[in-house]
Amino acid sequence: MSGSNSMWGGRFAEGPAAVMREINASIPFDKRMWRQDIAGSKAHVAMLAQQGIVSAHDAATIDAGLDRVAADYAAHGVAEDLALEDIHMQTEARLAEAIGPVAGRLHTARSRNDQVATDFRLWVRDAIDQTLVALDALRVALLTRAEEHAASVMPGFTHLQSAQPVTLGHHLMAYVEMASRDVSRFRDARARMNLCPLGSAALAGTGFPLDRAATAAALGFDGPTRNSLDAVSDRDFAIDYLTAAVQCALHLSRLAEEFVLWASQPFGFVALSDQWSTGSSIMPQKRNPDAAELVRGHAGRIMGCMTSLMVTMKGLPLAYSKDMQDDKPPVFECHDLLGLSIAAMTGMVESATFRTDRMRALAESGFATATDFADWLVREAGLPFREAHHVTGRAVKRAEELGVRLDELPFAEFQAIDARVNEALYDVLSVDASVASRTSFGGTAPANVRAAIAAARETMR
């Protein structure tokens, strides 16, 4: 017996009752939804009065009491009383303390099942709205720096090998495109989730003559949900939010990785502000891109949040199951991490010092205009591209042997490789000429970059 009782100690000294009380309670985390819980309750009681289900006097008393409870929460926080389990019971108990037995009328024609489904939708909707504001700030920061560097030449990479010259502005605009798709995904998720579960009750609806459209409108929803079973058991809206957040975190992580690489001495493309980097405890010369590395790390945790909720939901029959109490912690964690990551990347983009001299030097050193040579042979000398590719390869090899850039290779060397070459070739071999020539829609030419910036700003109005 002593062995079986050894587990009951510390906070579980009361035995199974203590374990059950703690595992059953969600108040330590769902207290974050107190504003949404108050808003849902105020809309519900207003509708009950409108429909004659409770008296106007009782509804006014309850509404005023809810304001008192909300003021107390705002001033002192929400107490974590495990005996009251969750934010809904906590609020009802505080309301009863404030106004007496009439508080019991608030729960008429609703269940904690439709109540939590409504509160959680409201919370996720607010989270999306906050994320959209943050993403707009990131896009503005990227657009500002892209405009500043619309013509700043840097090496473009494939396989992390120098490929063709691009502009830094064009590179930064790629992340504007990613952030814009993130905005679109969050907006889609918000539009799809914007139906109100309140009035679905436990799972089957209610016999009271509710006006579900009125509560939906009062809470800013487009209308009520159409099936009570689905309404109380649906967490697609949370998964939609997490899915959009994961994609956004992946984009932030890619940008963070660029900053980590670019800030390293072998690249030397960027110097991060002291605000967004730290020193070493032992090596005084170092400036570590800690904020970028943490953004990169947070992406993995955000992916874990999505996986957690999906695995929780994958085997649940209709309608509500207590497993769904675990839906909120991963969403709350994701929101905190994503908001922090967006803010950190915005700050890094705004304050970074881009070393465009270093970028240009590396763009010029890696035979990055070889494709321009091949294209010139196709256009001006009429060679098939595959033959032009081989001719260019021989020219690159010869430039390597002589230790010169492609645009520094003597004309006699080009002619020895292929007699169809003429001196007009040199007009396309500089990195500036290369980027200026990329005028196809979506290309890196500075004029294109500036037009893309203007178009992006117009869509954000």
3-state SS track over 244-285: HHHHHHHHHHHHHHHHHHHHCCCCCCEECCHHHCEECCCCCC
- 28 three-state secondary structure: helix
At 106, the amino acid letter reads L
- The CA–CA distances, whole Å, from 443 to 17, 78, 329, 358 equal 67, 54, 43, 22
Spatial CB neighbours of 68, under 8 Å, sequence gap ≥ 6: 98
Can you tell me the distance from the alpha carbon of 360 to that of 437, in angstroms, rounded to the nearest whole number?
A: 17
170 Rama sector, left if φ>0, alpha if ψ -120 to 50, beta otherwise: alpha
Can you tell me the distance from the alpha carbon of 400 to that of 185, in angstroms, rounded to the nearest whole number?
A: 47
- Angle of helix 236-263 versus helix 112-148 axis, rounded to 10: 30
Q: Which residues is 196 bridged to in the sheet?
A: 224
Residue-by-residue DSSP string for 67-116: HHHHHHHHHH-----GGG-SHHHHHHHHHHHHH-GGGGGGGTT--HHHHH
- 156 three-state secondary structure: strand
At 230, give phi and psi (nearest 5°).
-65, -40
Can you tell me the distance from the alpha carbon of 373 to that of 288, in angstroms, rounded to the nearest whole number?
A: 40
What amino acid positions are annotated as catalytic residues? 159, 280
C-beta of residue 199 within 8 angstroms of C-beta of residue 205: yes
Q: Which residues is 156 bridged to in the sheet?
A: 164
Q: Buried (b) or exposed (e) across 149-169, using 16+ Cβ within 10 A?
A: bbbbbbbbbeeeebbbbbbbb
Residue-by-residue DSSP string for 351-397: H-EE-HHHHHHHHHHTTTTHHHHHHHHHHHH---HHHHHHHHHHHHH
